Amino acid sequence: MAQPPMTNPTGEDRRRSPRVRLAIPVDVEWTGEDQVPVREHAETEVLNAYGGLLRMKPRFPIPLQIHLTNPRTSQTTWARVVGFREPKPKGLLGVAVEFTAPNQTFWGVNFPPLLSPSPS
């Protein structure tokens, strides 16, 4: 029996978890270049079970490793910065983050299950 051809999924097919547009406050911490702790308030724009897109003041440098605290649940987690988006009209920078370890409960959101592809 021949195997189906290998495909390279794109977009939503590649996601491990559905994205949800939701504003959730989050505290972001890191150690600045001068070894002084920096704490910044942010808010999510889009999130999923593995990270999200944060809106925050364009304060640089933001390191690749940051510590997040959800003030609603007091949960904390480490994340890595995986990208930046242009500042929004309010001057807030989009910071894309991915949790360094899976944390399905950090945002306090029940994510819908991934839909299985329809059989051909």
57-69 pLDDT, tens per residue?
876 677 789 999 9
Exposure letters 81-117 (e unless 16+ CB within 10 A, then b): beeeeeeeeeebbbbbbebeeebeebbeeeeeeeeee
pLDDT band at 20; cut points 50, 70, 90: confident
pLDDT grade for 19, boundaries at 50, 70 and 90:
confident
Q: Where are the domains of the chain?
A: 19-99
Provide, rounded to the nearest whole percent, the portion of the chain with pLDDT above 70.
75
pTM of the model: 0.76
19-99 CATH fold: Thrombin, subunit H (2.40.10)
Residue 80 has pLDDT above 80, yes or no: yes
